[in-house]
Every structure is written in C-alpha cells, then in structure tokens.
C-alpha cells in the first residue's frame, strides 16, 4: 500500500509509508510482530497495540511482554473481568457493585488493590 500524496500534507501517510512501525514481542512465543496488520487491515489506529494484545491473549492464553491487565473480581459471586484500561475495569466494578450490592476488588500488577462497594 503506498501513499499517492507525494508529500501532500493534506493526505496522511498510510501504515506502509511509516518507516518505524510499532512492534510487540512475546518471550513465551519467541516472536516479535509489527503492527502493520492492525493499522492497515483492522484499521484500529491508536488502539492497535491494545487490539493486538487482546487478540494475542485470546489466541494464545497469555499477553505479550510488558502487558498487565486490570482485574475486577467480585468478592461474593463468580463474576470477574480483566481489561487493559483502568477506567474500563473500574466502570465495570462500580456498575456491578451498584446493581448487586457486592464488593468488588480491583487490582493491577503495578498497583495496590482497591475495593469498590455499593454507594447510595
């Protein structure tokens, strides 16, 4: 895929025109990938890294190097989620606590866990 703009500043470069594509590595798989597919085919833009990490986990059962998820675990029922974004995990925990009255623990590998309880 080439950029037909020939330097036209109104036409942004396509992923094939970027010289330094972001890469992701996985020591467990012994591989490294560039994110050209996510940028060109899936067209997820700024979310390319997150999309690759989620797809990798879905297909291999583990995340690539350097990825830690936010987990929200209900202390009363078996409901739990894991998200790459803290806001998404906290939003789920707050919603679950509000609707069920259950306390939900939110944690991340790099942070201390917090408990979210139902608020009136």
pLDDT digits (tens, 9 = 90+) for 14-24: 545 556 788 99
pLDDT digits (tens, 9 = 90+) for 68-112: 889 999 999 999 998 888 999 999 999 999 999 999 999 998 877
> What are the residues whose beta carbons fall under 8 Å from the beta carbon of 8, sequence distance 6 or more?
none
Q: 38 is written with which tokens?
A: 């996510």
For the chain, how many residues are written? 120
Please state, in angstroms and rounded to a whole number, the distance separating the CA atoms of residues 68 and 89: 13
pTM: 0.64
What phi and psi, each to the nearest 5 degrees, are found at residue 60?
A: -115, -20
At residue 61, the 3 state secondary structure works out as coil
Centre a 10 Å sphere on the Cβ of residue 114 and count the other Cβ atoms it contains.
12
């Amino acid at each position: 895929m080439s950029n037909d703009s020939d330097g036209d500043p109104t036409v942004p470069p396509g992923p094939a025109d970027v010289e330094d594509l972001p890469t992701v590595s996985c020591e467990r798989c012994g591989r490294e990938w560039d994110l050209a597919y996510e940028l060109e085919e899936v067209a997820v833009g700024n979310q390319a890294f997150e999309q690759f990490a989620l797809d990798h986990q879905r297909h291999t059962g583990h995340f690539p190097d350097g990825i830690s998820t936010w987990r929200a675990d209900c202390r009363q029922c078996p409901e739990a989620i894991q998200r790459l974004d803290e806001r998404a995990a906290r939003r789920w925990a707050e919603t679950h606590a509000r609707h069920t009255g259950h306390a939900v623990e939110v944690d991340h590998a790099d942070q201390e866990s917090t408990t979210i309880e139902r608020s009136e």
